[in-house]
Structure 1
Amino acid sequence: MEQPVFKRIVLKVSGEALSGQTGYGIDADTISSIAEQVKEVIALQVEVAIVVGGGNIWRGIAGSAKGIDRTTADYMGMLATVMNSLALQDALEQIDVPTRVQTSIAMQQIAEPYIRRRAVRHLEKGRVVIFAAGTGNPYFSTDTTAALRAAEIEAEVILMAKNKVDGVYSADPFKDATAEKYETLTFMEVLNKNLGVMDSTASSLCMDNDIQLIVFNITEEGNIKRVVLGEKIGTIVKGSVN
């Protein structure tokens, strides 16, 4: 049996990754592909928690820039993540992967409230846990949610799934042909070079709690499994270079 290098992971999926080639909404083929890749990892007896963004439906910062109150805009973004989480839950359960959605905002008719001990117990039983509605607070991104939940459930790594981008570059590779891909980085380098991998709050949380980050392309089939098995794809971000 193939041996994974991680026991418990947090998979961070951006909203844009769920939209496929369209850039907006939820693409059925894309979300089915992600679900199949998660199933491959579950088969390795790896415990999987997922944090989903909402940028394919609504961005709080963009809404705020158009005149909507920032707190209101951020709550709208949290609701977008719930929609994405329910879609991903449905895709997983259609292929017989037991899944629970836990929200930071109480929505008892559609999901469980986030309770750390319950989340850990689900993971131990082989269920995928999807954390929705961010942290439940405005002004915090889903990147910060991923870092916070990873620390709380004692995950070893955050797998940051990107759409079309296969790692961290010195500049936007679609706009700058001279952009160089980094194989490894430290969180301090990410912050000092303003690389935009994740926001400063999330980076600090990962650094302070010794949580590794791996940035990779999710659109290539089987990449989640490859990362979990220790293949060197994407960019690894750690607390130190050692």
Structure 2
Amino acid sequence: MANEFVRVEIGDGSAQAPAGVATIRLDRPPMNALNTELQEQLRAAAGQVAADPSVRAVVLFGGERVFAAGADVKEFANQDHAYMARDAARLTSALDALARIPKPVIAAVTGFALGGGCELALTADFRISADDARWGQPEILLGIIPGAGGTQRLPRLIGPARAKDLIYTGRFVGAAEALEIGLVDAIAPKAEVYPTALKMAAKFAKGPALALAAAKAAVDGGLDGDLASGLRLESHLFAALFATQDRTIGMQSFLENGPGKAVFS
């Protein structure tokens, strides 16, 4: 499948494109509606950056105007129960591929992150919002519910009561409220959203890749089960890192030069 709607741009080491940082950029004007083709191209992009050892951190970006204003309602309107009973799992797994990228992922959100667009942003580890961006899960206004992770990732992030408020009412929230409830992690002027995300990603790209992957696996995996299972997962991943070169580099640097000065390979 030709990537008509999604591009992967890997940094060349310049200030505008830091080394080790890949951008997954949506490009389906005018609103980056998440039709089937775009969903599958996101899945392919997730696989590409996950498998590329030169990519150490990832930014999700919809452009300067809009992140993603939700699913393609025209496409949904033509689908019946029998079709969606077969296709719903594919939709979920397409976005889940982004959540499973074993590297830090930052969503740079401008304009709208609504419905599937909000669910797309929820797959990231961090969300940077434009100060005039609008967020929400308005599926209830169409007589349906979020179907690509919204009912699961949103309450895990902001708590069940706040998630139910957004899901039950379908209301939009501005950047300030999104920050207050924990839906976003930082706010920036629209023109600074993408550069801010790149700067954050560049810091992660200089970190210990295997330890960052283990930290992500431990946190995300622990949230899927009970505390005892999470602690067992953490212990396993913690021990495994003692077999890595980054652990050797990090500890030797600490002993010789103090904390925070290691250069990881």
Q: TM-score, normalised by structure 1?
A: 0.30
More relative contact order, 1 or 2 (CA 8 Å, 6+ apart): 1
Higher helix share: 2
Larger radius of gyration: 2
Q: TM-score, normalised by structure 2?
A: 0.28
